[in-house]
Amino acid sequence: MSDDSKKPADTLADGRIPSSSMRSYALLTPHLKELYMGFYKATYGKSKIDLKTKEYIAIAAALTSGCKGCLEGHLKKAKREGATSEEIAEVIAITLGVNAATIVDRSDIANFHLGGLFEKPEAS
């Protein structure tokens, strides 16, 4: 029998905990968290890239790395910076396209390293 009393009240049906319910950086020492946060803040300092563009980059990175909390946070920040639904859709489409190309690239490289195990398929 499982002990459901230890699960947060907002645990989803599939057992996942919404990222907003978890303590971020819970396993980092205060020193490492301070180092990380300093680096993170430096990337958002004054630079040649505006904040909205930085959020688009962060959204793409969050999508590719699978960081749900990152994605949620950067979507909120992008909205605050004036991002529209159409712009976010374009960011997602570009991210999707690059990742689709990654799959094609990896499969081409694997096939090459296997000596051309599979020939190029015929058009259907």
The pLDDT averaged over each successive group of 10 residues in the chain (124 residues) is: 56 65 78 92 91 97 93 96 98 97 95 94 88
Predicted confidence at residue 16, as pLDDT, reads 63
- pTM score, two decimals? 0.74
Q: What is the torsional sign of CA 50, 55, 56, 57? A: positive
CA distance 82 to 17: 29
Predicted confidence at residue 27, as pLDDT, reads 87
Predicted confidence at residue 5, as pLDDT, reads 55
Predicted confidence at residue 1, as pLDDT, reads 46
* Amino acid in the structure at residue 50: D
Predicted confidence at residue 25, as pLDDT, reads 80
* Amino acid in the structure at residue 18: P
Q: What is the torsional sign of CA 102, 107, 108, 114? A: positive
CA distance 1 to 56: 45
CA distance 94 to 100: 10
Q: Which domains does the chain have, with CATH numbers?
A: 48-115 (1.20.1290.10)
